Structure 1
Amino acid sequence: MKNYKSLISNLPVADHAIGTKLATWEKYQESHPEIWNTLQSIFSGELEVKLCRQDLKDIAHTQDYKKLIIATILWGYSSGMRGNNFSKIINKLPEIVSLLQCASKGIDNWKIHYKKVKEISGLGLSTYSKFLYFVGGKIGEHEPLILDIRVIEAINTGIYKEFVGMKRITYTNAPNLYPEYLKIMNNFALSSECTAAQAEMFLFIFGQNLKQHT
């Protein structure tokens, strides 16, 4: 990624925004009326809302983690979640909120923490790492970052030498490699005058769409 240090250090992470339509989520109005009220508060009477990373950070700072979970799903899955994963997550909101409350104070043992996450059907690392990123706290020595399928596929292109030890990462083994991913991203940030979040955003947006010339 060092070839793109200048680009990475100028990425506007806080402004990274994604829009979603209220119509996408209307099907949950009857089945989850309490959640529908939260959805309406996020849309503020509009038919479409655009959320940026800073908006979600601001919600996290209020410690209203139920609202954060919903808002993060809107941001991360603007066209809706696969299957009935949304309902599965909503039905386990108290458990997820409890996990995030613990995470906000720091996670010393990632393996034990994520074992509890795995018990929640419909909640994988792609989604949970988004929650962690906005909540903050630390995992070991490092701030959490998003690790979803787009970032995983970027790592697997083999273009980025920083990840030579993670080239066999898959969505299945990604939770085990998550601490190593954070370490690599933070080391890169320290040596490249950027933030780890900027490096993650680079992989998310450009990671699969670059071919280094020789």
Structure 2
Amino acid sequence: MKLSEFLRTIEEMPLPNHSFIIKKENWFNHDQQYLIDNIFNKADTITLNRYDLLNSNHSLDEFVLKTLMWGYPIKGRGNNIDNLLEPYNFKLLIGILESYRDKDINASKLDGDIKSIKGLGLSTMSKLLCFIGARVENQETLILDRRIIEIIKAKTFDELKNLTSITYPTSAKNYVKYLETINNFSKVNNTISQKVEMFIFMFGRHLSPLKGEEVYDFEDEYEKPIEKTYKTLL
């Protein structure tokens, strides 16, 4: 099945509105609780979308918390989030992101920075990169998480079959290959890379090709019998 078959839908993806609901009951962290409380502002539940993240990156402390909440509404698996919010790791991550803002990053540096922080993986870092305006090896950054990798490995879309060797977790080198593939596809088809990424995330698990005898010819196999039945009734 070709990704290019869905260009019209990709173009209509409501990118800035892509949101998740976050409940405060899932978010407690002793080290950063004051930031969490500020974000919820006495509410029990908030909704964050991509537009919110882009407009909060002036304050990196708040930006990191909101991005983690948006990416992991129920706080993810294990202790990875709490490890990231530990004061030393949190400060280190803020410093790294400050150096990345609107910059082009070398893949090997990206790998090293990720490995320097306990609890940080490329799935999380790709979300932060995407909303901080960074590039990697001169490629526009996009989210690459477990779900997208599963869709790629399922060989759902022909244009992504060159990426099926990517596993979770993956390396910055594979991340660059993913970015090149999506960005090149977007350029050739005159669309927006982040919309392509969002389409893959939203629909990749729920689409399959139409093939075989079970596919109806709607003119010959469906409409004509109905028309005949209607005339018979008259």
TM-score of the superposed pair, with normalisation by structure 1: 0.92
The percent identity for this pair of structures is: 29
1:85 to 80, 90, 105: 80
| One-letter amino acid of the counterpart of residue 78, structure 1 | P
Gap change, CA 1:162 and 1:95, over 3 Å in 2: same
Question: Partner of 2:204 in structure 1?
Answer: 207
Cα deviation, residue 180, structure 1 = 1.0
Distance 1:172 1:47, change over 3 A: closer
1:11 to 4, 10, 13: 13
Show the counterpart of 2:66: 71
Letter in 1 for 2:71: G
Indicate the structure (1 or 2) with the bigger Cα radius of gyration. 2
Provide the alpha-carbon RMSD of the alignment. 1.3
Q: Pick the aligned partner of 2:175 from 158, 170, 178.
A: 178
Displacement of 1:37 in angstroms is 1.4
Match of 1:2 among 1, 4, 10: 4
**What displacement does 1:174 show?**
4.4
| In structure 2, distance between residues paired with 1:127 and 1:181 | 16
2:94 to 97, 108, 111: 97
In 1, are the aligned partners of 2:111 and 2:171 still within 8 Å (CA)?
no
Q: Specify which of 128, 132, 147 is matched with residue 144 of structure 2.
A: 147
Aligned partner of 2:23: which letter? Answer: K
Structure 2 portions without partners, runs of 5+:
212-234
| Structure 1: unaligned runs, 5 residues or longer | none
Aligned counterpart, 1:193 = 190
Q: 1:164, CA displacement in angstroms? A: 1.9
Larger mean Cα displacement after TM superposition, 13-22 or 94-103: 94-103
Q: Which range moves more in the overlay, 172-181 or 193-202?
A: 172-181
Greater displacement, 44-53 / 173-182: 173-182
2:155 maps to 158
TM-score calculated relative to the size of structure 2: 0.84
Local SS of the residue matching 1:59: coil
**Number of aligned residue pairs:** 207
Name which of structure 1's ranges 37-46 and 1-10 shifts more when overlaid on structure 2.
37-46
> Which residue identity lines up with residue 12 of structure 2 in the other structure?
N
Partners of 1:80 and 1:113 in 2: CA distance:
24
